[in-house]
């Protein structure tokens, strides 16, 4: 019993640690006086675990769906890309902004003097087949820079293995599972800014 408890604590600790930003460039204090960011989302060169590329992932998933029912493969591909703008990005924006109840900091797709770029470098969709499920997971590089001068990077950092939780385990849709990762990413980033930049 004690061994299981220790293992559980190690897993929780590892997950918590993995979801802290690793600073690559700049300083969180550079964000002290910034209240508005324009968001840019980048999915280029995204890695999918167990596949050589995103193209290989899509080809495999589409082929399996086509075997079961004609047209389902193309439907999957369409939703895979549509979920970015329809699920992941709105979820990030909502989750981030609600951490600042008085609107001290706001992110949106509207033009602003500073840009917050979210580059998704890994997306793992997880799975839920009823009796067994696994959380979705993402890696992302966050780059914050002056919009008019992109070379002026105020902060760049990475998050690894950010997992989303939601729907009390009834998350059978991969787009929903992944969107919860973006909600968690936004929560982590907003919390870091509140704790380290605004105080």
* Residue stretches of the chain with pLDDT short of 50: 1-18
In the prediction, which pLDDT does 169 show? Answer: 59
Tokens of 51: 């596949």
- Under 8 Å between Cβ of 189 and 142: yes
21-197: what fold? Rossmann fold (3.40.50)
Encoded tokens for 92: 């990030």
pLDDT digits (tens, 9 = 90+) for 112-162: 999 999 999 999 999 887 778 889 999 999 999 999 999 999 999 999 999
What does the pLDDT read at residue 132?
A: 85
Give the start-to-end residue ranges of the domains of the chain. 21-197
Q: Which of 160, 161, 126, 157 is nearest to 144 (CA)?
A: 157
How far is residue 161's CA from residue 184's CA, in Å, rounded to a whole number? 11
Does the pTM surpass 0.75? The reply is yes
Beta bridge partners of residue 23, listed in sequence order: 157
């Amino acid at each position: 019993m004690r061994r299981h408890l220790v293992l559980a604590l190690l897993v929780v600790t590892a997950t918590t640690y993995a979801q802290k930003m690793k600073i690559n460039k700049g300083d969180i204090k550079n964000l002290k006086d910034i209240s508005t960011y324009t968001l840019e989302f980048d999915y280029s060169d995204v890695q999918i675990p167990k596949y050589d590329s995103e193209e290989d992932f899509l080809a495999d998933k589409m082929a399996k769906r086509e075997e079961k029912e004609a047209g389902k493969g193309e439907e999957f591909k369409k939703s895979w890309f549509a979920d970015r703008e329809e699920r992941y990005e709105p979820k990030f924006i909502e989750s981030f902004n609600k951490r600042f109840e008085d609107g001290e900091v706001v992110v949106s797709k509207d033009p602003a003097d500073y840009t917050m770029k979210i580059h998704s470098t890994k997306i793992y969709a997880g799975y839920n087949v009823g009796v067994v499920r696994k959380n979705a997971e993402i890696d992302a590089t966050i780059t914050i820079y002056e919009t008019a001068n992109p070379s002026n990077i105020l902060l760049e950092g990475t998050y690894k293995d950010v997992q989303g939780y939601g729907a009390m385990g009834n998350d059978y849709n991969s787009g929903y599972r992944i969107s919860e990762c973006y909600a968690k990413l936004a929560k982590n980033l907003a919390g870091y800014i509140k704790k380290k930049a605004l105080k």
